[in-house]
Amino acid sequence: MTERQIQLRDKIMKGLDLASKRLIEQKAKRNEKLVVSVNGKVTYIDPKTLLPASKVN
């Protein structure tokens, strides 16, 4: 990979990380469950279990 490709990949990864954090915070704020697939099975997760203690309302 070139230096430019590495920088672009890092920016994309940071953006995905930020988007997932914001999604978890929104779901926790609205008391909604996160719906994810684990090994092909639909699973519901309470987002408050994924937040640091300071973010839980």
DSSP track, 1-46: --HHHHHHHHHHHHHHHHHHHHHHHHHHHTT--EEEEETTEEEEE-
pLDDT at residue 51, rounded to an integer: 76
pLDDT score at 57: 56
pLDDT for 54 equals 61
Q: Domain spans of the chain?
A: 3-49
Query: What are the pLDDT digits (tens) for 1-56?
Result: 899 999 999 999 999 999 999 999 999 999 999 999 999 999 999 998 887 766 65
Q: What is the pLDDT of residue 8?
A: 97
